Amino acid sequence: MSGISVKNRVQSDTRPKSPAGTPSGKPRTSLSAERGKSKARIAFYAVGALFVILALAYIDGGEEPLHPIVQSVSVAAMSGNQS
pLDDT score for 64: 76
pLDDT in tens, 16-30: 555 555 556 666 666
d(CA 41, CA 43): 5
Query: What pTM does this model have?
Result: 0.39
The mean pLDDT of the chain is 75
Alpha-carbon distance values, 21 to 15, 17, 24, 30 (Å): 11, 6, 9, 15
Contact 20, 26 (CB under 8 A): yes
pLDDT score for 50: 98
pLDDT score for 67: 86
pLDDT score for 83: 57
pLDDT score for 60: 80
pLDDT score for 55: 93
d(CA 31, CA 72): 73
